[in-house]
Amino acid sequence: MPHASSTIPTSRTFASATRALLFPLLASGAFAQQADPFAAIDANKDGKLSRAEVPEQLRPQFPLVDTNRDGFVSKEEFQAAVGAQGGGGKATETELLKNIDYAGSDNPRQKLDLLLPKDHATKKRPLVVFVHGGGWKSGQKEDGLDVIRAVTSTGDYAAATINYRLSQEAKWPAQIQDCKAAIRFLRGKADEYGIDAAHIGVFGMSAGGHLVSLLGTENDDATLEGTIGAFAKVSSRVQCVVNFFGPTDFFSDYLPNPTPEKAEGRKMVVELLGRDEAEARQNAKAASPVSWVTKDDAPFFTAHGTKDTLVPFSQATLIHTALEKAGVESHLVAMEGAGHGFASPELNQRIRVFLDMHLRGIPGEISSEPIKIR
């Protein structure tokens, strides 16, 4: 069932949205310890799953898997949802490392969680880093735990979810400096954690989508890079970006006099970028990912709801057009009818192909056809 909100999600609704966005991957991990995961859920053994039989945290996504809309999930529908992500229902045993200090500050807002396959000491894997949303003023790394569990469930990736300082604690550019410090730390510790340092991708939603987009476009500015942490000379470049409905140009929708439905988003932007509107305007260009687009940027995958009023769909087309003009690979998937949040197994599959292409070197094709959200 689509998740929609008229505001940037709070930490609770944000966590629900991330679970919805990655249902097939999550399913492949959640039930993989059973020899027959479908049979383990089919409590009455009638060969189909009712909504009541499905674990509570997955019930909001029940309609996505019930493709024939008969009110039940057949074994074929279940296997299609799980198998679409390449997991085949088999999960990899993992180890969660909590509250790793990437800045050397002992500030809880500068810590990350890292999820590694148990054999990480003997096999290096590409890394996917999740950056949470929340209007730059709320949210936490724990919001991404379901996402990183999903990413690592097939054994192909290591994954991390990070905190960064929020706007009420530190003004811009603290947020991007923290994200870059976390990337540098993880790359600097690659041998210890079994990470393929040459293949790091980032994934973010809403405010997190803005930050990962900037990670993918801004590569040279010393002010935004910062010197946080013990790995200041290590590269913070990333190899691919998955941007879910992130702002990309603050001048086009937020700092002009807004319509009433954009007033809340504008307030968040001003609170992020300065102590007042004048300072926010001074910082807005450098904080806008579209301002930094060059031909050597990372490949992008952007998904955005066509009816998003908080972060308008035009924010996605702006970055997509700029990237294509610069000769950078960019995929834009319009989620027709969706607002600020959505769920789609088809979208999940396209994202996995994108990650596999750029982090594992597996050739693939990605459809740019819009996805309708019912």
Domains annotated for the chain, with CATH where assigned, are 91-372 (3.40.50.1820)
What pLDDT band is residue 2 in, cutting at 50, 70 and 90?
very low
Task: Determine phi and psi for 261, rounding to 5 degrees.
Answer: -75, -15
Calculate mean pLDDT across residues 175-193.
Answer: 98
CB-CB contact of 110 with 103 (8 Å): yes
Query: What percent of the chain clears pLDDT 70, i.e. is strictly above it?
Result: 82
Least confident stretch, 286-290, 310-314, 342-346: 342-346
Top pLDDT among 284 and 11 is at 284
Who has greater pLDDT, 330 or 268? 330
For residue 202, what pLDDT is reported?
Answer: 98
Q: Which residue has the higher pLDDT, 280 or 1?
A: 280
Q: Is the pLDDT of residue 185 over 80?
A: yes
Mean pLDDT value of segment 170-190: 98
pLDDT of residue 93: 85
The per-residue pLDDT for 234 is 97
| Rounded (5°) CA angle 231-175-327 | 85
C-alpha to C-alpha distance for 250 and 283, rounded to whole angstroms = 10
pLDDT at 87 over 60: no
Residues 212-217 have a mean pLDDT of: 98
Q: Quick one: average pLDDT of 178-194?
A: 98
Higher-confidence position of 330 and 93: 330
Q: Which pLDDT band, with edges at 50, 70 and 90, does 259 fall under?
A: low
Work out the pLDDT band at 5, boundaries 50, 70, 90: very low
CA separation for the pair 277, 271 (Å, rounded): 8
Q: In sequence order, what are the residues at sequence separation of 6 or more whose Cβ sits closer than 8 angstroms to the Cβ of residue 254?
A: 247, 262, 265, 266, 269, 284
Tokens of 280: 């926010």
Query: How crowded is residue 108: how many other Cβ atoms within 10 Å of its Cβ?
Result: 12
Q: Which of 13-22, 280-289, 327-336 has the highest mean pLDDT?
A: 327-336
Minimum mean pLDDT range among 30-39, 196-205, 300-309 = 30-39
Q: What angle do CA 262, 372, 250 make, to 5 degrees?
A: 25
Q: Range with the lowest mean pLDDT among 118-127, 147-156, 302-311, 350-359? A: 147-156
Average pLDDT of span 323-329: 98
Instruction: Give residue 39's pLDDT band: very low, low, confident or very high (50, 70, 90).
Output: confident
Residue 61: the pLDDT is 63
Identify the band that residue 113 occupies on the pLDDT scale cut at 50, 70 and 90. very high
Residue 167 has pLDDT above 80, yes or no: yes
Beta bridge partners of 303: 244, 333
The per-residue pLDDT for 17 is 38
User: What is the pTM for the complete model shown?
Assistant: 0.79
- Alpha carbons 256 and 267: distance in angstroms, whole number: 12
Confidence (pLDDT) at 80: 61
* pLDDT average, residue stretch 116-127: 94
Handedness of CA 44, 47, 50, 56 (dihedral sign): positive
pLDDT exceeds cutoff 50 at 22: no
| Residue 214 CB coordination number (10 Å) | 30
Q: For residue 258, what pLDDT band results from cuts at 50, 70 and 90?
A: low
